[in-house]
Amino acid sequence: MQRENAERRAAEERMELYFVAHPGSPAAVRRPRLMKRGKMWVALLGPNMREGIVGLGGNVEAALRAFDAQYLSMLRPPLAA
C-alpha cells in the first residue's frame, strides 16, 4: 500500500511538471484523470474510456502526450473524401 501511494504521488508530481512544461496543452488546461492499468498509464477526460478522450502510454508523460494528440484530433474536422 505504501509503495502504491508513493508511486501515485510521484506520478502526480510528473503530471504537474508536464503541465508546467506545456502550459497551453489540452492536458494542462483540461486536467484529465490519471490512472495506471497494468503497466500502462491512462489519462482520461470523460466518464469512461469508451466515451471519453483517452491517452495511453508506458509512462505519465507519454500518456499525457497521447491525450493531447487525441484531444486535438477530436477538434479537427474530418478530411473530405
Provide the number of structural domains found in the chain. 1
- Asked if residue 64 is part of any domain, the answer here is yes
Residue 81 lies in a domain: no
Q: What is the pLDDT along the chain (81 residues), one digit of tens a residue?
A: 888 889 999 999 999 999 999 999 999 999 999 999 999 999 999 999 999 999 999 999 999 999 999 999 988 776 665
Is 6 a member of any domain?
Answer: yes
Per the domain annotation, does 39 fall within a domain?
Answer: yes
pTM flag (> 0.85): yes
Does residue 8 fall inside a structural domain? yes
pLDDT computed for residue 80 by the predictor: 61
Residue range(s) defining the domain that contains residue 17 = 2-75
Q: What is the pLDDT of residue 49?
A: 93
Cα 35–chain centre separation: 9
Q: Does residue 61 form part of some domain?
A: yes
C-beta neighbour count of 11 within 10 angstroms: 17
55-73-69 Cα angle (round to 5): 40
Chain segment 12-33, per-residue pLDDT in tens: 999 999 999 999 999 999 999 9
In a domain, 51, yes or no: yes
